[in-house]
Each structure stands twice: as structure tokens, then as C-alpha cells.
A and B are shown apart, each in its own frame.
Chain A
Amino acid sequence: EAGVVQSPRYKIIEKKQPVAFWCNPISGHNTLYWYLQNLGQGPELLIRYENEEAVDDSQLPKDRFSAERLKGVDSTLKIQPAELGDSAVYLCASSVTPNEQYFGPGTRLTVT
């Protein structure tokens, strides 16, 4: 069974530029999560989708972050414009049950 796929794996951009991350969850997993992981910290939830619906986006900084999950499968997380403090690893996870989450390898973003 293929795991959660994320791309790109690494991204370096200058501040004020836009950036987008893509996630393909495990087939059949209706729930998709985007997490932010700062260096030396645990993952922090940004947004959770149930199929196409964003059911928890309370931690998503909506002034610059946006996300979509068209057709309830793949998802894209966007930052526009990026700031220096956005440098982190962005993890995507998916699940069938509410508890057992499967994580992708993450996208490491560096903003210069």
C-alpha cells in the first residue's frame, strides 16, 4: 500500500514570494490533515479535512495561508506571501479512524 505522498520535499524561496505544497493521501482515507512542524517541536495542526470539507481550520493563519481539497482526495496548502517565520516542515497526514494517522515525509520550507 502506497503511503502519503508529498511534494516537493524541499523548497527554498525568498520572503514575500508565494509557495504551494501538494499532498496525496492514502487511498480510501477520507480525513486529511496539514501540520506545521518547527525545528525541535512536535507537529501542530493547521487544518483538517473530511472529504472536501475543512472541518477544523482554527489554527490556520488565514491572512496568508489557504488550503483546498478538491474532489476530496489530493490537497494543496498555499502560503502567500511567505515570511521568514514560515520556515518549517509542513506535514500532511491522512486517516480512516480519528486516531491512527499516517504521515507523509513532509516538505521542508526555507524562506530567505
Chain B
Amino acid sequence: GENVEQHPSTLSVQEGDSAVIKCTYSDSASNYFPWYKQELGKGPQLIIDIRSNVGEKKDQRIAVTLNKTAKHFSLHITETQPEDSAVYFCAASKNGGFKTIFGAGTRLFVKA
């Protein structure tokens, strides 16, 4: 089955710096890659996603890149702010499939 590995497990950056979180997946049939943000005491919230027919997607300060050949995808947050502090999860699933496999998460700290 699918396996998603995520790193780093913890990331600390200074406010205004960029943060990058990387994930790899094992199932080459996976073609949908969402990223979720989970704040303390809340459920995960979808912040951006990318499909396998696209190499990069951007939404304001966040962007995702996908390398299908290497089975890598990454989340990039620019101009980080203290409110970006949270746990971020990458995930992978197959088209039309409801089974989403999550990475173990990255705890991001943004220091003011």
C-alpha cells in the first residue's frame, strides 16, 4: 500500500523567513496530494493541494511543487508569520479513491 514519509518532524524559523516541508510517496498511482494545517485542539484543515498533471501551484504565500518521477512533493511557505505556527501534514491519494494516506506531520514554529 501507499506510504508517505515527511520531514523534517520539527522546523523552527524566524518570522519573515521561508519554510520548506518535504514528502515522498511510494505508490506511483497516487495523483492527488493535499496539504493540511492542524492547529492545537482543532482538526486538520486543507490549505492547498496539487494534482499529478501539475508541477507547481501557488496560493499567496504558500506553494506546492511535485516531482512525479522522484515521487517527491514539497510545501513552501514564504514570509512566515507567527500564525503559521502549527502542524502541517502532507498526504497522497489516488484519483477517485477516498483513501488518503497522511505523513507523520511537521511541527512548524515561527519565532517573532
Contacts and interface: CB of A to CB of B under 8 A. Distances in A.
Asked if chains A and B come from one complex, the reply is: yes
Interface of A: 4, 31, 33, 40-45, 48, 55-56, 91, 93, 95, 98-106
Looking at A33, A95, A99, the one whose CB has the most chain B CB atoms below 10 A away is: A99
Interface stretch (B14-22, B60-68, B73-81, B91-99): B91-99
Nearest to A42: B102
B105 A101 contact: no
A31 B97 CA distance: 12
A51 to B, nearest CB: 13
A103 B46 CA distance: 9
A100 B105 contact: no
Interface of B: 4, 6, 9, 32, 34, 36, 41-46, 49, 89, 91, 93, 95-100, 102-105
B96 A98 contact: yes
A45 B43 contact: no
A99 B49 contact: yes
Contact of A42 (B32, B49, B103): B103
A56 B99 contact: yes
Nearest to B32: A99
11 contacts: A42-B104, A44-B102, A48-B99, A56-B98, A98-B98, A99-B49, A99-B93, A101-B100, A103-B36, A103-B43, A106-B43
A105 B41 contact: yes
Given A102-B46, A103-B44, A105-B43, 7 more contacts: A42-B6, A42-B91, A43-B89, A44-B102, A100-B46, A100-B49, A103-B36
A17 B71 CA distance: 44
Contact of A103 (B32, B45, B105): B45
Contacts of B95: 98
Contacts of A42: 4, 6, 89, 91, 102-105
B89 A99 contact: no
A107 to B, nearest CB: 10
B102 A43 contact: yes
